[in-house]
Amino acid sequence: MVASVVHLTESKKQIQQTARIFEDQRQAFRRNPYPTEVERRENLRRLKRLLLTHQDRLIEAIDQDFSCRSADETRIAELMPSVQGINYALKHLRGWMKPSRRHVTSLFQPASNQVQYQPKGVAGIIVPWNYPLFLAIGPLTAALAAGNRVMIKMSEFTPHTSALFSELIESAFPQDLVAVINGEADVAADFSSRPFDHILFTGSTAVGHHVMRAAAENLTPVTLELGGKSPAIISSDVPMDDAAERIAFGKVFNAGQTCVAPDYVLVPADRRQSFIDTFRDRIATMFPTLRDNTDYTSIINERQYQRLQSVLEDAREKGAEVIEVNPGSENLTDGTRKMSPHLVLGGTDDMLVMQDELFGPILPVVTYGSIDEAIDYINDRPRPLALYYFGYDREAQDHVAKHTISGGMAVNDTLMQVTQDDLPFGGVGQSGMGAYHGREGFETFSHARGVFSRQKLNSGKLIYPPYGSAFQRMVYRLFIR
């Protein structure tokens, strides 16, 4: 009872703080609605310095939250793309800010058209737990490049990272420019209900529904980066060593807790055993042991660990064959949240393993006859965030690309499409809406305002009333055809 009262009191304080900061940022934006290029560059450089100066502390905090998070995976997936994304924005910012000229038809000459990219105002960013640094810094970089004020709601499931990130942001930026909000689900619900000028949410499809519903009350535009069951197709002729190794890396990186991780594999029926054997061999090469191996990341918390165990148990009970890939034959059931990779054979649609995004080191293997059968299997299901195709025939690559729809796609690799600064990252359908990274990130957090300009000469008055003049009849003949 006492703990519950303390929680309610703390949440009330956090919600009040959110309201105060939001209003402060709105007023600050009104005072400076179009930050100069110099101001934006300084903000981005400040963010970069923060990351470089405190990278060891950030690695340690993320490791604490996971109980074991590979330091190299944090460098590869969080620090490196964050820093490179800032560098890319700094390099291209001037060109992004420059208004683009547009054509004026002869009917309206003399005049000019241009698109001006205005900051939207106060942006809200909601960050998940799986990559708590990169999925905060990436949207923040885009929002600052576009000239916005930013509020960031960190995940309650990464308390060490969230507290440190709040401390670092507060030391580097005034609260009316960038602020971090921490708190439980009730604080997050209040956050998403604020009338932001744009909200970017990364997380599950289920929570995405709530965020979009709350944003709709304020007609707040949203970018939703969700998930889904991202397939990997292995062609009939690609070397299995190539395909299985790259799929294995994408599946067990961060212990599968990646929104674009391969969620299931489509493999020709006569190559299934070859994939299983090669996948197991590649896992053993990458991770000879799991339990005490600091290169192998733990499941984030007990709730997620038990969820994944339930998925496996459901598959076994309903007749699937589950293959554990445990190179060192270690006991992972006592005192650890390390979870070995598992392959699931014979999965059916009534199994949890084939219904929801897995978000862990579980990989169903589905067989197919023809490539069009594999494509139909994908298209019969909600559109995924990522799609992976393995095969070196260019015509086959093009065929798969043209006959499927996904948020992004990688050919003969996994995950790497997300790290490309000049590619948009986003979902489609059930896997999300909108995109960011690079120029698309700048445009997401900008309002593209079309501006039509005349000077003293007004040719438009020739079509003013009274109607029926010879000139107007000529205009109709020329332009209505």
Task: Please state the domain extents for the chain.
Answer: 2-106+115-226+441-448, 231-426
Handedness of CA 153, 158, 160, 165 (dihedral sign): negative
Would you state the pLDDT for residue 10?
Answer: 84
Structure tokens at 351: 């199994």
Would you state the pLDDT for residue 116?
Answer: 97
Active-site position among 73, 225, 245, 443: 225
Would you state the pLDDT for residue 335?
Answer: 84
Q: Specify whether the CB–CB gap between 424 and 268 falls below 8 A.
A: no
| 225 counts as catalytic | yes
> What is the β-pairing status of strands 362-368 and 342-345?
parallel
Q: Specify whether the CB–CB gap between 266 and 364 falls below 8 A.
A: no
* Alpha carbon distance 395, 402 (integer Å): 11
* Alpha carbon distance 33, 103 (integer Å): 27
Active-site position among 68, 245, 259, 357: 259
> Angle 185-192/205-216 helices, nearest 10 degrees?
40
Q: Residue 174, Cβ neighbours under 10 Å: how many?
A: 12
Would you state the pLDDT for residue 302?
Answer: 96
CATH code that applies to domain 231-426: 3.40.309.10
pLDDT tens for each residue of the chain, 481 residues long:
555 555 668 889 999 999 999 999 999 999 999 999 999 999 999 999 999 999 999 999 999 999 999 999 999 999 999 999 999 999 999 999 999 999 998 889 999 999 999 999 999 999 999 999 999 999 999 999 999 999 999 999 999 999 999 999 999 999 999 999 999 999 999 999 999 999 999 999 999 999 999 999 999 999 999 989 999 999 999 999 999 999 999 999 999 999 999 999 999 999 999 999 999 999 999 999 999 999 999 999 999 999 999 999 999 999 999 999 999 999 998 889 999 999 999 999 999 999 999 999 999 999 999 999 999 999 999 999 999 999 999 999 999 999 999 999 999 999 999 999 999 999 999 999 999 999 999 999 999 999 999 999 998 888 899 999 998 998 899 889 8
How many residues appear in the chain? 481
Would you state the pLDDT for residue 377?
Answer: 98
Fold classification of 2-106+115-226+441-448 is: Aldehyde Dehydrogenase; Chain A, domain 1 (3.40.605)
Give whole-number Cα distances, 265 to 34, 39, 323, 352, in Å.
48, 47, 15, 16
Q: What predicted TM-score, i.e. pTM, was given to this entire model?
A: 0.94
For the chain, the three-class secondary structure string (H helix, E strand, C coil) is CHHHHHHHHHHHHHHHHHHHHHHHHHHHHHHCCCCCHHHHHHHHHHHHHHHHHCHHHHHHHHHHHHCCCCHHHHHHHHHHHHHHHHHHHHHHHHHHHCCEEECCCHHHCCCEEEEEEEECCEEEEECCCCCCCHHHHHHHHHHHHCCCEEEEECCCCCHHHHHHHHHHHHHHCCCCCEEEECCCHHHHHHHHCCCCCEEEEECCHHHHHHHHHHHHCCCCCEEEECCCCCEEEECCCCCHHHHHHHHHHHHHHHHHCCCCCCCEEEEEHHHHHHHHHHHHHHHHHHCCCCCCCCCCCCCCCHHHHHHHHHHHHHHHHCCCEEEECCCCCCCCCCCCCCCCCEEEECCCCCCHHHCCCCCCCEEEEEEECCHHHHHHHHHCCCCCCEEEEECCCHHHHHHHHHCCCCCEEEECCCCHHHHCCCCCEECCHHHEECEECHHHHHHHCEEEEEEEECCCCCHHHHHCCCCCCHHHHHHHHHHCC
Closest CA to 300 of 415, 157, 182, 203: 157
| 373 counts as catalytic | no
Backbone torsions φ then ψ of 421, nearest 5 degrees: -65, -25
Token pair 């390390």 is at which residue? Answer: 338
Would you state the pLDDT for residue 7?
Answer: 60
CATH topology of 2-106+115-226+441-448 equal to that of 231-426?
A: no
